[in-house]
Amino acid sequence: MTRARSFGLPLPGTPGPHNAITDVPGVEVGYTTLISGDGPLRPGAGPVRTGVTALLPRGRGGVLDPCAAGIHALNGNGEMTGSHWIAETGALSLPVLVTNTHAVGACHRGAIDWTRREHPEHREWMLPVVAETWDGYLNDVGGDHVRPEHAVAAIDAARPGPVAEGSVGGGTGMNCYSYKGGSGTSSRVVAYGADTYTVGAFVQANFGSRAQLAVCGVPLGADLADDNPIEDTDWLAPAGAGSVIVVVGTDAPLLPGQCAALARRVPLGLARTGTYGQHSSGDVFLAFSNANPGAISGGFPDPEPGYDTMTFVQWNQIDPFFEAVVQTVEEAVLNALLAARPMTGRDGHRSPALPHDRLRDLLTARGVLAS
């Protein structure tokens, strides 16, 4: 699997051991990938190019311990369930699922089914977080191919360690800058006094027109304008219509408002890859801190009145964490593009991969890569 750093891109910052959101201690990621069928679209039968991604901020064993969290939407043409409750309480619990636009309901049900199976003692009131981007160019998006059991399987598959990228999980049928896109991740190590923390980002990249693409500050859209079947067929109007979901996680102790501030920095990382946040796009972001275990009630009443106590980074020392968000988001998008392979889906629709050799030649000519 090719990634931005193995390709040689000179990206700033120090990544964690896996350069993934799972470098944040406790975070686990799992996928269900669904690929079947070829040829003309037969609604309800395929072809199928889709899936589910599960992100567990405290792992499977900590899903009932809420994390501090915040959200931000750059452009709201998209869905993230449970976001109003996060905005109200600053608390995130249960697994976070990312899938295709028409599979939100199935994944919502699956998150509830998984939680009831694993924690039958849990209160029946649940508001899972499920986010989406649209994969209908390659996938039979209206065919109900993602079912609750696929969401359950993605949660069951969640693990720490290396994370697969490109056409996997919810990113299976997604496109980015009119190349094959999908799932991508990255991390940064941040020093804070005598302590060291990790910031990680996970993206489901399904956004941007070819003309906007930039890599390491070099605009490349004009040089890579050919072999663009997505825009040449006028399938999506305007060019570049799509969405991006970003989940940022850290083990640094943060307040919910500070998590929201991290989420507001996500667009700065996306912009480094060329996008300006089109009106047609659903750009929705979630940030969480899994520090301070047991400190956030999430709004459920305790048997007796008490007080929550949290340790948190000083506001006037938070800038290195903002910088880490920008860096990880940029690199996660590039990782998704470099890892993805060409894919053909419904009705013969073709999504080409970012051409590695041409990218290398262009960046070498601009002095970004050594000759």
Alpha carbons 240 and 231: distance in angstroms, whole number: 8
Using 50, 70 and 90 to split pLDDT, how confident is the model at 301?
A: low
Q: What is the pLDDT of residues 191-209, one digit of tens each?
A: 999 999 999 999 999 999 9
**pLDDT, mean over the chain:** 95
Catalytic residue among 251, 283, 289, 351: 283
Q: In whole angstroms, what separates CA 288 from the centre of its chain?
A: 13
**Is 351 marked active-site?**
no
Instruction: Using the predicted structure, report yes or no on whether residue 302 has a pLDDT greater than 80.
Output: no
**Is residue 301 a part of any domain in this protein?**
no
From the candidates 167, 186, 243, 289, which is the catalytic residue?
A: 243
| CATH number for the domain that contains residue 354 | 3.60.70.12
Is there a domain that residue 365 lies in? no
Residue type, 121: E
Model pLDDT, residue 209? 95
Q: Catalytic residue among 93, 178, 209, 281, which?
A: 281
The verdict on residue 364 lying in a domain is no
Catalytic-residue membership of 281 = yes
Q: What is the pLDDT of residue 296?
A: 79
Q: Note whether residue 368 is domain-resident.
A: no
Contacts of 193 (CB under 8 A, 6+ apart): none
Residue 246 lies in a domain: yes
**Domain membership flag for residue 316:** yes
Domain with 33, as residue range(s), is 5-37+45-296+310-359
Measure the N-to-C terminal CA separation of the chain; round to a whole number of Å: 23
Per the annotation, the verdict on 283 as an active-site residue is yes
Phi and psi for 186 in degrees, rounded to 5?
-165, 170
pTM: 0.97
Q: Tell me the mean pLDDT in the region 327-353.
A: 98
**Which pLDDT value is given to residue 321?**
98
Any domain includes 303: no
Neighbours of 11 (CB within 10 A): 18
Residue 366 resides in a domain: no
The tally of domains found in the chain comes to 1
Q: pLDDT tens digits, residue range 217-272?
A: 999 999 999 999 999 876 666 777 789 999 999 999 999 999 999 999 999 999 99
Q: Report the C-alpha dihedral over residues 108, 110, 111, 112, rounded to 10 degrees.
A: 90
